[in-house]
Amino acid sequence: MIETKKIDDEVTEFTVSNGTISFSAINYGCTITRILVPSKTGEKVDILHGFDTLEGWKAGNQSHNAIVGRVANRISGARFTLDGKNYEVDKNDGKNCLHGGFTRYEKMLWLGEPFSDSEGEGVRFTRTSADGEQGLPGNLEITVVYKLTSKNELILEYTAKTDKATPINLTNHAYFNLDGSGTILNHHLQLDCDEFLRANADLTPTGDVVSVSGTSFDFRTEKTIGRDIKNLITDTADDANRSLTGENDPFGYDHCFISHGDESKVVRLGAVWSEKTGISMEIFTNQRGVHVYTGNFLAGIKGKGGVVHKRHDAVCFETERYPDAVNHPNFPSCILRPGEQYWHKTVLKF
User: Exposed (0-12), middle (13-18) or buried (19+): which is 269, by Cβ within 10 Å?
Assistant: buried
Residue tagged active-site, from 49, 64, 99, 173: 173
Report the distance separating Cα 225 and Cα 203, nearest Å.
19
Rounded Cα–Cα distance for residues 229 and 238 (Å): 12
3-class secondary-structure state, position 252: coil
- For 242, the enclosing helix (H) or strand (E) is helix 239-242
Pairing mode, strands 188-191 and 153-162: unpaired
Q: How far is CA 336 from CA 25, 105, 157, 231, 272, in A?
A: 27, 18, 17, 39, 32
- Residue 344 makes CB contacts below 8 A (sequence gap 6+) with 156, 157, 158, 159, 170, 171, 263, 285, 286, 287, 319
Q: One of 13, 133, 153, 318 is an active-site residue; which one?
A: 318
Q: Is residue 173 annotated as part of the catalytic site, yes or no?
A: yes
Whether residue 103 contacts residue 122, with contact meaning beta carbons closer than 8 Å, is answered with no
CA distance 325 to 320: 11
**Residues marked as catalytic:** 173, 318
